Structure 1
Amino acid sequence: MMLRQSLTLAAALVATSAFAQANTQAPAQTDCLVRISTAPAAWMIRSYDPFSGETPQATFNITFINDGGGECRFTPIFDLSQPPFGLSKGAGKEIGYQLVNLTDSQNVTPWAGRSMITPSTPQLVLAPNESKTLLYKLVVNQEGAPGAGTFTQDVTIEAQGQGFTSFGGARLVLGLEVLPSARIGLAGAYSMNKGQAVVDLGELRTGLVQTPLQLRVNSTGSYDLQVVSANSGKLRLGSTDWTVPYTISIGGHAINLSGPGLLAGPTGTGYRSDSAPMPIQFVIGDANDRRAGTYSDVISISVTAR
């Protein structure tokens, strides 16, 4: 089980002539003037579950339009509005990412503050009133997210000509939304039968059962455990009324099985993987004067990230 939260970011589109908005003169008819349209204005990878095993990635379009009267020759580059490089929540560890121009298979990631241009980097050529749309892929380092939340970075996409001349640009937000998420698993003495973990408590005797069993939890932050007993804390002989009471503890914390038992995990933010698995212990109540047979109960343990 998981909780979901959503934060929508928006980026304003800026269209300028070489970012020289202070120049109020209209461009000459022979000038190159590039207008850049991003779709959408915020490149967000939404609702990513870090335990899904999938790489967070998405594709987006940028359209370049020549609003000038002359031919435009330029290279689209990405420039960081404010270093350091990486997606973040404003503090803490940054998440690495890559930007790839899929149209010409160029890596345009602004690792050093801006996209790297080499002599072999192709230029985009636009005739007056012509437009072209390029396809880009944003790929985020799935191992780098420090926890749940929305991580962003502001960049500028710029049409750069020779001699670092800028023919136009637009501001853009790159981002990753990491969902609160958690996973649980068992370790120790159990077997699987039809998708269920089966724990053999041996011969029922009053007292602590010496069964090595542990619960492992991985989460993006804080979490809660819920434990539900189908028989409300009783081992039952088939469909009869013969029962044996028992109690359970997880990580040394006793769970009330008369109803849904709740156990709060550690507080705080950031990924957590319990370095010491939490032992699960069973204590059998009065087992005297019971009919012979196999007594059982079904326990459901679920985790909710918060």
Structure 2
Amino acid sequence: MLRSFLFLAAGLLTTSALAQPPSNPAASTGRDCLIRTNATPTSWMIQGYDPFGGSLPEGTFGVTFVNEGSSECRFTPVFELVQPPFGLSTGSGKPIGYALLSMSDSQDVTPRAGRSQQRPSQRDLKLGPNESRTLLYKLVADPDDVADAGTFTQNVLIEAQDNLFRSLGGTQLVLGINVLPSARIGLAGAFMMDNGHAVVNLGELRRGIAPVPLQLRVNSTGRYALSVSSANSGRLRLGLSEWYVPYTIAIGGTSVNLTGERSVAGPPSSGFRRDSLPIQFQIGDVADRRAGTYSDVISITVTAR
């Protein structure tokens, strides 16, 4: 009886292209008070976010307020949208929601309605002449809104406003997130795990398609390609002997030549994908072969585009 086991090794490769939008700080003005607002950096970017990495997209940034006037200043830091609608965007598609949180007083200062909403529990910031203070803010993007790779931004103003809503000084910020092109693969169906490998039992070898239900699961931020290679160049081998049974595979209906490393292109559309690609095994001539267990090792790697 001829039987075979196929060992599949799944790999992962991610690529990225990081972008930093330019800053455009505004000049500070005031009357009795003159507040200079320094944000370092002026682009608050959540860099290198991998949607499949399991981490929360967030970053912490600082703003320093300096009283350059001759009298005491009392004010509240307020964020305002330069141009609605609210959300981090590339200019098209659904924006990514976010939250801005003040770390000094645990206040939500997100400009969801165009500007930060002042709350009774929020205290004024008091600075004497030539006094300065640095406040920390946390930017948190909504991972459920991330639907594509790329750089998503929004321009906002942070201003020091007194109790009459007059601006004592401010600067412009770029809020954003850089989403890495990323992909993950896995298997579903008839297989078992052994020492980190997926073991597929093709059953008793007969010429034709092996009756094994198996799917390759691909989660991707967009377009991707699969790279497939066979340790025995498309042959099931009996141990360390020179006895072989030829075979081919098809992934998602695309036949793969296993005589060398081959690439299989994924769907051309962009945006998040969750594909289930059937894998079929086509067994070749099994006549006049010695009995035993024939096997091969296939490596499948996904590359995000």
Please give the range of the TM-score, normalised by the shorter of the 2 chains: over 0.9
Q: For each residue in 1:81-135, what CA deviation from the matched residue of structure 2 results, as whole angstroms up to 9, or x when unmatched?
A: 0000000001110000000000111110001000001233111000000000001
1:71 and 2:72 correspond = yes
- Tell me which moved more, 53-62 or 2-11: 2-11
**Mapped pair 1:237 → 2:249:** no
Please list, as runs of the form range in 1=range in 2, the aligned pairs for 1:194-213 lying within 5 A after superposition: 194-213=195-214
Equivalent residue for 1:11? 23
RMSD: 0.9
Superposed counterparts of 1:203-282, under 5 Å: 203-274=204-275, 277-282=276-281
Higher relative contact order (CA 8 A, sep 6+): 2
- The structural deviation recorded for 1:69 is 0.5
| Aligned counterparts of 1:297 and 1:212: Cα–Cα separation in 2 | 18
Aligned amino acid, residue 219 of structure 1? S
* Unmatched 5+ stretches in structure 1: 19-26
Counterpart in the other structure of 1:305 = 304
SS of the residue 2:164 aligns to: helix
How far 1:4 sits from its partner (Å)?
A: 1.2
Letter aligned with residue 173 of structure 1: V
Deviations 1:271-302 (A, max 9, x none): 1112xx21100011011111111100000111
Length, aligned pairs only = 293
Give the structure with the larger strand fraction. 2
After TM superposition, give the deviation of residue 16 of structure 1 in Å.
1.8
Preserved CA contact (<8 Å) 2:46 2:177: yes
2: CA distance between counterparts of 1:188 and 1:162? Answer: 64
Structure 2 gap segments, 5+ residues each: 1-12
Distance in 2 (CA, whole Å) between partners of 1:265 and 1:173 is 34
The residue that corresponds to 1:134 in the other structure is: 135
Secondary structure at the counterpart of residue 100 of structure 1: strand
Bigger drift between 8-17 and 160-169 goes to 8-17
CA contact (8 A) 2:105 2:122 kept: no
Equivalents in 2 of 1:62, 1:10: separation in Å?
17
Deviations along 1:214-251, one digit per CA (max 9) or x if unpaired, are 11111000000111101110000111111100010011
* Pairwise CA distance, 1:14: 1.9
For residues 11 and 45 of structure 1, what CA distance do their matches in structure 2 show? 15
State the 1:17 CA deviation: 0.6
Partner Cα distance (1:46, 1:88) in 2: 15
Amino acid at match of 2:154: Q
Deviations 1:14-66 (A, max 9, x none): 23214xxxxxxxx6xxx200000001110001111000111100100100000
Structure 1 residue ranges (4+ consecutive) displaced by more than 4 angstroms after TM superposition: none
Separation in structure 1 between the aligned mates of residue 38 and residue 25 of structure 2, nearest angstrom = 7
1:41: which partner in 2? Answer: 42
TM-score, normalized by length of structure 1? Answer: 0.94
Give the whole-Å Cα distance in 2 for the aligned partners of 1:101 and 1:221: 34
Q: Secondary structure at the match of 1:201?
A: strand
Distance (whole Å) between structure 2 residues aligned to residue 51 and residue 166 of structure 1: 42
Look up the SS of the partner of 2:144 in the other structure. coil
Which secondary structure state, in structure 1, belongs to the residue aligned with residue 248 of structure 2? strand
1:80-95 residue pairs with structure 2 within 5 A?
A: 80-95=81-96
Identity of aligned residues (%): 59
- Are the aligned partners of 2:28 and 2:37 in contact in 1 as well (CA < 8 Å)? no
TM-score for both structures, normalised by structure 2: 0.94
